[in-house]
Amino acid sequence: MKQVLFVVLLLSLGSCARNISSGSGNGGALSSYAEDLSAVRPVPEIELPATEEEGADLEENELEEAAYLSEGLTNENERIDKAIGEIAAYNATQTDAPGFRIQVFSGNSRGEFESAKGYLLQHFPELEIYESYSQPTYRIKVGDFLRRMDAEQYYSSLRSRFSSSKIMMETVNLQNGLNIN
């Protein structure tokens, strides 16, 4: 019995995986690999005007780009400031944006429509009210919310009074959306 146990022990020790050292075998050859690729990298060809007369033919953007590339990175901050200014000017012209409104009423009764509108004017004067009538249905939507989270805050307080209210995605007035707290 002891002999059988001894043989099993020897076989199990002999079948264990051996450790492989990370010496300077193939792993060392791969980690020391280096190649210079600068000879095959493309080099941009920029032709700068030799005189002012030749420069008159170039457009303003081409002149600006040529000046930037000839000076290096010295005007990088100025170019970034100019790009930010252009983005700000574009954003100032935008009036609409994707957002959310809460539909609080949808029904056929004009009396209920007027009642709902009166309640909203009295209790939520900060919200813009959007009325629509598509025969025979009256609808009231409120708010210009840019984030769904803002719409959900108002939705929770409107839900108690208007059980059929729901949040809808729509194009909203950007200026009104920025003024809602």
**What does the CA dihedral 51, 55, 61, 65 come to, rounded to 10 degrees?**
-20
CA distance 104 to 127: 12
Cβ atoms of 151 and 143 closer than 8 Å: yes
The pLDDT confidence band at residue 119, using thresholds 50, 70 and 90, is very high
Binned at pLDDT 50, 70 and 90, residue 4 comes out as confident
**Res. 109: pLDDT tops 70:** yes
Q: Is the pLDDT of residue 25 over 60?
A: no
Q: Give the mean pLDDT of the chain.
A: 79
The 10s digit of each residue's pLDDT in 55-103 is 455 566 666 666 655 555 456 788 888 889 999 888 888 888 899 999 9
| pLDDT surpassing 80 at residue 159 | yes
Q: Which residues contact 173 (CB under 8 A, 6 or more apart)?
A: 95, 96, 128, 144
Residue for token pair 């076989």? 11
Q: Return the pLDDT at 6.
A: 77
Condensed to tens digits (0 to 9), the pLDDT of residues 32-60 reads 778 888 788 787 776 655 655 554 555 66
pLDDT at 11: 74
* pLDDT score, position 165: 92
pLDDT at 96: 87
Q: How far apart are CA 145 and CA 102, in angstroms?
A: 9
Q: Is the pLDDT of residue 138 over 90?
A: yes
What value does the mean pLDDT take over residues 145-163?
91
- Report all structural domains of the chain as residue ranges with CATH numbers, in order of start: 60-93 (no CATH), 96-179 (3.30.70.1070)
